[in-house]
A and B are shown apart, each in its own frame.
Chain A
Amino acid sequence: MTRAPTPIAFALMALAFLIVGFAQSWSLALTIFNYCLIAAIMALGLNIQWGYAGLFNVGLMGFAALGGLAVVLVAMPPVTDAWQAGGGDLLVAVVLGLATIAGAILARHLLPPGRTRKIAVGVIIIGGFFLARAWYLPATQAIASVNPAHTGYLGGLGLPVLLGWIVGALLAAGAAWLIGRITLGLRSDYLAIATLGIAEILLAIIKYEDWLTRGVKNVNGLPRPVPFEVELQQAAWVQEWSLRLGASAQDMAVLTVKLCYAGLALAVLMILLWFAQTALNSPWGRMMRAIRDNETAAGAMGKNVTGRHLQVFVLGSAIVGLAGAMLVTMDGQFTPGSYVPLRFTFLIWVMVIVGGSGNNYGAILGGVLIWFLWVEAEPVGAWLIAAATSGLAPDHALRVHLIEGAAHMRVVVMGLVLLLTLRFRPRGLLPERIARSA
């Protein structure tokens, strides 16, 4: 097989953005580019799990949502009234919850195995659950009733938003560690179902625990790591550049903001890519491949298979959490209702499979390409259907119906892209390259 033409693939991708820039608008091209970068980071995270280690994680949505939550918890200003209303009780509930877990673990270690131990652990867990709930429920109600139209939640810490990105990664990593401890003994299919369930649970918590996240009421107006367009518009250098390029100062300010985001995302992507490549080419990467290709043999060579799986699961999930945090920051709002598995989990899978699992450049190319197609398939699909049905009257029932359905065309396209890749290029556009020392 010929060497994968990585530079050519990326050059073609750049050309696609130039075409969008000229044909539609530069602002749109930059927006798509920014989201493509975030998609690429998510794909990189999944590639570390699936491509390096063969872990079938379909719970990406949950980790991305956790990252988004971290931004809210770090960057939003605290709501002091809510803290006064229910903060104390809530802390009591949290302490009781932690004490319950600690008690259960202690009982498990101290008591001899047998029926007494099972009953004791059960009693501690159930009793602790109800005890903690006695403080928890009134506290959350009190918090949610503080000015529900604007706050109704505890708010965050009021720290810089970029810190939220790091916390997002850490939060996702912590959740992944807990989940991994429980589920990583399981083989591929079971792990898939388990992660699918975990994502749903994480999302349910984010959606329905209003005191923490405002739930489906969304958190708007997140602090930004870049200046506002209105301020930029007044800046002298922006006005100067807008004159030089012949664009309005307003457009120039919008472009500048988007370029700032692009710079940030690109920097993060480059750092992660460097780490990922270094890890892949190190003895650690070789060990991961050995475990992926033959767990039994790797285990026989003394490698700690479950331990390495846990490590890689945590690392990959942290990257997905980071990407989730970046996405929320770029949107400027946290909307728990917008997390759907198709877009936040399975689309990332399409990216990695199409791009080439095991190859970091492939995952990034897949992320950029698939997100580009996902966004551009909508206008193209609508245009195609309008053209195909142009023979019908504009108010013909079938035509109206088809044009309404055109937005879902891209879902079908993604499925077909995935199926065709599996069939005709099973190793992806940029297949994994294994450097063999002579």
Chain B
Amino acid sequence: MDDLLNALVLLANFVLIPAATYGSQLALGALGVTLVYAILRFSNFAHGETMAFGTMVTILVTWWLQSHGIGLGPLPTALLALPAGIAATVVLALLSDRWVYRYHRSCRARPVIFLIASLGLMFVYNGIVRIVIGPADQRFADGERFIVSVSDFRAFTGLSEGLALRTTQGLSLVVAVVIVAALFWFLERTRTGKSMRAYSDNEDLALLSGIRPDRVVLIAWAIAATLATVAGVLYGLDKGFSPITYFHLLLPTFAAAIVGGLGSPLGAIAGGFVVAFSEVLLTYAYKRFLTYLLPESLAPDGLLQLLSTNYKFAVSFVILVLVLLLRPTGIFKGKML
């Protein structure tokens, strides 16, 4: 019995909690991508760099707060700095729209032109982030490190395996739930949210019924920038900030959005968790887990890792291709490109 419990705790500690954390971070990122796609109808390649920019501003404000001795006690100071990061990123997104995308919208350019423009913005954001904060890794998590630590858990349950829940992991889950709930309330209940869904479903009909397209686009950018910043800060708190990782997050984020169904918010969340769990499940070494469950004579000698962690990108990619081949609209019927 103890062996079974130990095995389950092991799995929870190394698979369930990390994957759920990563999944909620991906889901927030994918929601931003999907929202831009639903309203503006292009895949925003600058989304990863937007996340990096928002995180960078948050880090800078966090440092400033820390230097003044302002903190949140057990919670990371970054939470206090988050609104400033969001505000800066929203301004950046709105300026980008004003100076870049609005012109192409006014001449009704093809979606691929928007995509190329987002590549240009990706370069610009990328350069700005590296000029301001540099390409090096930054750690900015402070406050209490653990909600449940391994030794506490062992003392409490008497099991030999420990379970740790880091503050940043708990925070990721809680913040993701709050943000997603707020977003869905906004999209389903408010007038503006409804007008955005109408615009996404049928642009011409929405225009006919008096919805102002400029306003819808502005709000979409503001929400996408907010989601990007929150996702970026949560990821940075959890795993540390380095600008290059945020570029590499682009692939799993897009995979999540497409797997769920591009343009569908519910799908983005489901997609985020599908991608995160597949990545963690396939790159986890099951040796210790099976040692608990199997009789000693059958104990495995290898690591029993299906895929080296070096190839975790391959997981998002394979899921992506499978979904595109088998069900091109995604799990939740998104838009067909």
Q: Which positions in A face B, CB cutoff 8 Å?
A: 54, 56, 182-183, 186-190, 192-194, 196-198, 200-201, 204, 207-208, 340-342, 346, 349-350, 353, 402, 404-406, 408-416, 418-419, 422-423, 426
Chain A nearest CB, measured from B124 CB (Å): 4
* Bound CA–CA A423/B104 (angstroms): 8
Chain A nearest CB, measured from B104 CB (Å): 7
Instruction: Across the interface, name the chain A residue whose C-beta is closest to B109.
Output: A426
Residue from B45, B113, B126, B317 in contact with A422 in the complex, judged by beta carbons closer than 8 Å: B113
Stretch at the interface among B130-138, B163-171, B220-228: B130-138
Indicate with 1 or 0, residue by residue over B115-140, a CB within 8 angstroms of chain A CB atoms: 11101111111111011101100000
Chain A nearest CB, measured from B327 CB (Å): 13
Indicate with 1 or 0, residue by residue over B74-116, a CB within 8 angstroms of chain A CB atoms: 0000000000000000000000000010011000000111011
* Bound CA–CA A89/B131 (angstroms): 49
* Bound CA–CA A340/B130 (angstroms): 15
Q: Does B25 interact with chain A (Cβ within 8 Å)?
A: no
* Bound CA–CA A193/B337 (angstroms): 13
- Contact yes or no, A188 B120, CB < 8 A: no
User: Which residues 278-317 in B have Cβ within 8 Å of A in the complex?
Assistant: 308, 310-311, 313-314, 316-317
Additional A-B contact list (13), CB under 8 Å, known A201-B313, A201-B317, A346-B122: A56-B112, A187-B337, A188-B111, A189-B337, A190-B328, A193-B320, A201-B311, A201-B314, A208-B310, A415-B122, A415-B124, A419-B120, A422-B113
* Bound CA–CA A56/B316 (angstroms): 20
- Contact yes or no, A409 B127, CB < 8 A: yes
Q: Does B28 interact with chain A (Cβ within 8 Å)?
A: no
Q: Does B324 interact with chain A (Cβ within 8 Å)?
A: yes
- Please report the total number of B residues contacting A with Cβ < 8 Å: 49
* Bound CA–CA A353/B113 (angstroms): 10
- Contact yes or no, A418 B116, CB < 8 A: yes
Q: Does B24 interact with chain A (Cβ within 8 Å)?
A: no
Q: A200-B313, A346-B119, A416-B124 known; A189 and B43 CB under 8 Å? A: yes
- Contact yes or no, B250 A196, CB < 8 A: yes
- Contact yes or no, B324 A186, CB < 8 A: yes
* Bound CA–CA A409/B311 (angstroms): 32
- Contact yes or no, B43 A192, CB < 8 A: yes
Chain B nearest CB, measured from A56 CB (Å): 6
Q: Does B247 interact with chain A (Cβ within 8 Å)?
A: yes
Q: A197-B316, A204-B311, A405-B134 known; A349 and B119 CB under 8 Å? A: yes
Q: A182-B325, A194-B320, A418-B116 known; A342 and B123 CB under 8 Å? A: yes
Measured between beta carbons, the chain B residues less than 8 angstroms from A411 are 123-124, 126-127, 130
Instruction: Across the interface, name the chain B residue whose C-beta is closest to A205.
Output: B311
* Bound CA–CA A359/B325 (angstroms): 33
Q: Does B258 interact with chain A (Cβ within 8 Å)?
A: yes
Chain A nearest CB, measured from B322 CB (Å): 10
Q: Does B254 interact with chain A (Cβ within 8 Å)?
A: yes
Instruction: Across the interface, name the chain A residue whose C-beta is closest to B110.
Output: A188
Residue from A183, A192, A198, A405 in contact with B132 in the complex, judged by beta carbons closer than 8 Å: A405
Q: A187-B337, A189-B43, A189-B111 known; A405 and B130 CB under 8 Å? A: yes
Q: A189-B42, A189-B115, A408-B131 known; A204 and B313 CB under 8 Å? A: yes
- Contact yes or no, A405 B115, CB < 8 A: no
Q: Does B248 interact with chain A (Cβ within 8 Å)?
A: yes
- Contact yes or no, B337 A415, CB < 8 A: no
Measured between beta carbons, the chain B residues less than 8 angstroms from A54 are 112
Residue from B112, B121, B122, B130 in contact with A408 in the complex, judged by beta carbons closer than 8 Å: B130
Residue from B127, B128, B248, B337 in contact with A200 in the complex, judged by beta carbons closer than 8 Å: B248
Q: Does B176 interact with chain A (Cβ within 8 Å)?
A: no
Chain A nearest CB, measured from B250 CB (Å): 7
User: Which residues 238-273 in B have Cβ within 8 Å of A in the complex?
Assistant: 244, 247-248, 250-251, 254-255, 258, 262
- Contact yes or no, B122 A193, CB < 8 A: no
Q: Does B206 interact with chain A (Cβ within 8 Å)?
A: no
* Bound CA–CA A193/B256 (angstroms): 11
Q: A200-B317, A208-B311, A411-B126 known; A349 and B258 CB under 8 Å? A: no
Q: Does B173 interact with chain A (Cβ within 8 Å)?
A: no
Identify the interface centre among A183, A200, A207, A350: most chain B CB within 10 Å of its CB: A200
- Contact yes or no, A404 B134, CB < 8 A: yes
Measured between beta carbons, the chain B residues less than 8 angstroms from A204 are 310-311, 313-314
Q: A193-B254, A419-B121 known; A342 and B320 CB under 8 Å? A: no
Instruction: Across the interface, name the chain B residue whose C-beta is closest to A424.
Output: B103
Measured between beta carbons, the chain A residues less than 8 angstroms from B325 are 182
Residue from A187, A192, A419 in contact with B100 in the complex, judged by beta carbons closer than 8 Å: A419
Q: Does B321 interact with chain A (Cβ within 8 Å)?
A: yes
Q: A193-B254, A208-B310, A409-B131 known; A341 and B324 CB under 8 Å? A: no
Q: A208-B310, A411-B123, A416-B124 known; A349 and B131 CB under 8 Å? A: no
* Bound CA–CA A8/B152 (angstroms): 75
- Contact yes or no, B123 A422, CB < 8 A: no
Measured between beta carbons, the chain B residues less than 8 angstroms from A194 are 317, 320-321, 324
Chain B nearest CB, measured from A127 CB (Å): 14
Identify the interface centre among A54, A190, A402: most chain B CB within 10 Å of its CB: A190
Instruction: Across the interface, name the chain B residue whose C-beta is closest to A420.
Output: B120
Chain B nearest CB, measured from A326 CB (Å): 25
Measured between beta carbons, the chain B residues less than 8 angstroms from A413 are 127
Identify the interface centre among A56, A189, A410: most chain B CB within 10 Å of its CB: A189
- Across the A-B interface, give the 6 residue pairs with the lowest CB-CB distance, nearest first: A415-B123, A412-B127, A411-B127, A197-B317, A415-B124, A405-B131
Measured between beta carbons, the chain B residues less than 8 angstroms from A406 are 131
Measured between beta carbons, the chain A residues less than 8 angstroms from B120 are 350, 415-416, 418-419, 422
Measured between beta carbons, the chain B residues less than 8 angstroms from A349 are 116, 119
Instruction: Across the interface, name the chain B residue whose C-beta is closest to A357.
Output: B116
- Contact yes or no, B42 A198, CB < 8 A: no
- Contact yes or no, B117 A422, CB < 8 A: yes
